[in-house]
Chain A
Amino acid sequence: MKPMKGAGYISDRDILIAVTINILGVYTLSLPRILAEDTTAADGWVGILLGGGVACILAWVVAKLTLLYPNKSFFSIASDLVTKPIAVILTFLFTLQYIAITSLQVREVSALAHQYLFDQTPLEVISLSFLLVVVYGVCGSRAGIFRLNALFLPFVMAGLLLIVVLPLAFIKTENLLPVFQTDFKGYVKSTYSSLNTFAGFGIILFYIALVKNPKNTPKMAVKGVMFNTILYTILYIVCIGTFGNSTTANLFFPTFDLSRTVEIPGGFFERFDAFLFLAWTIILFVHCLMAFDIAVMTIMMVFKKVKKINLVITLTPLIFFISMIPKDYVELTHLARYISLTKLTSLLLVIVLLWSAYKIKGGQTK
């Protein structure tokens, strides 16, 4: 049977959803902490807006770049612009990076579950069970991943809305004041940190080849980044307003703790963070799933004959072991920083490299 319109391909809207959820990832949970460390009071929002702005431009450039070769994979674009060996190196760079991201997500989920749901269950059990579910997801179809995104979107949006709306009553204005007391270095640092968070748009580099009608994709990618910018700004202000700057800087997952301050009066559940835990697990899961999928995809770009299922089975233990490397939260935080650093640099490197190669070649190869 011929594939139905919606079956084999993904649409612009799917990219929008994927970018949004992927940026949301694990960093949203810790972003207020990272920003609050560098800025005073609620000044971190400047960093978010600046970072978001830069990310918008980058996302647009990446989307435009990939659109020069519609429906072609990253590897074939790269080997066309810069020779094949370099393309192989670039592709594997991304493979390693996305394997690392997957591991990080797996570990973060278990950290979250360990901290808020159960303290006695071994970390390994939590991580492994999560990873196995991810493996189940990766083994399905790629278009299925995007359908999954769309299916999860209502849960994610409802969760985020709850996080933002419910603590509004607890905001103290003195926590938000004074404004603009941060030094220039603080702004630069916070901009950099938030840019790291936004680096999740990197997935369009790989997924845009699946878009059937990619004309509007750059716009959609930018929309996704912009949506997150606005969301982060609100979230940050609510978070600082509720906890104050110094408390936020010392909470490991300030966004999640935000939900724990609220009690629903007369509700069945005394703590509604159980619902939010669902939303966060879903967000982390989708992020992890897409990272794993890209890792598999990049390897398959180079080795075309490898079976997907074999690759997944090989990578799974590797990812599990990497995720178990960090000993505690401190090491985990460091790992997260290194990963986001490499993520951003590799993305910039690829953009600069490919774009300049394209300009040097004069854009003849269309």
Chain B
Amino acid sequence: MVPWSFLYEDPLTQNIISWFLFFYGVALPIVIIIGVIGLKGFIEITRFEKGDTFLYKLNPVTKLVFGVIVMVVASTTIWWIGAILTLAILPLYLTLNNGVKKFLYVVLLVFSTIVGTAWAAAPYTPPSVLQLVFPDTSAYQTVWVWPSYFSFMGYEPTLTLQALIYGLQISFRVTATLVSALLLILTTTTSDIFRMFTKMKIPLPLTFSIMVGVRTVPKIFEILDTSVKMQLLRGLSYNKPRVFRVGYYFYAGLMAIVPAIVYLFRGAKTLAISADTRGFRAYPSRTSLVNLGFSRLDYIMFGIVLALIILDVLANMYGFGRTIPYEGL
């Protein structure tokens, strides 16, 4: 019995608090993303900026390998290894150009991902799945009982402490991958990624399209941001109560999507012409002045990668392998 059980035994407080919890899980990540990170923040954490610390000096292949191995380790070991990896990688953002800002944005993104993912899993996880993680059903602690109509949204009748822990465990798998994947994009020039893909013998047209995509992602946020601001400047939400501002912001964002697509596609022609005039695809293979080599830093990084692989094997040998079941996910 939990001390606050009287709260869900009374229908009035049960309804109020249940809806509060519902909006907490749904809205908190959104408030963080819109209000604090914002489109500006997304531009900041998806765009390359010049820098000279060690991450910028690494060969892109090294960073790609690192990202892949972090993902492999996080998805094949127990959840707290993923959590430790997330915490260990996060400070690396401080070494980047404009590091403190990027670090704060990424921390917020990680936090909202944790809240979002945990709440996206916990209320929906059926007891049959939970039993695979926590076999002793008698030890389950009911934290909250939802009103019966919540089952229409797919909610389980009760929320247990175990379901919440399970939700948290899942979220750490996502965050470790997220923080390591963004590092490559943030610290590597588009042309270096191009060179990396060319070296990996990926066909030139495919590489070109990927690079256009990589370049476009931060641009999309930038264009949406401009478009939203323009609409507000032109008087949208003017003289309206402040409470509705989030709604107008959201509306302006939706209205910006089709014009943004048209704008981007129209700009495509200029990019294509400039690539063509510089002889793109004139020859089947590409030549380059810059040779991507491996330096001492790369070898140190490979050492870390190797250590991660050993950690993975050891963890699996000692029973700290994957303990989160994926049934039904």
Tell me, yes or no, whether A binds B: no
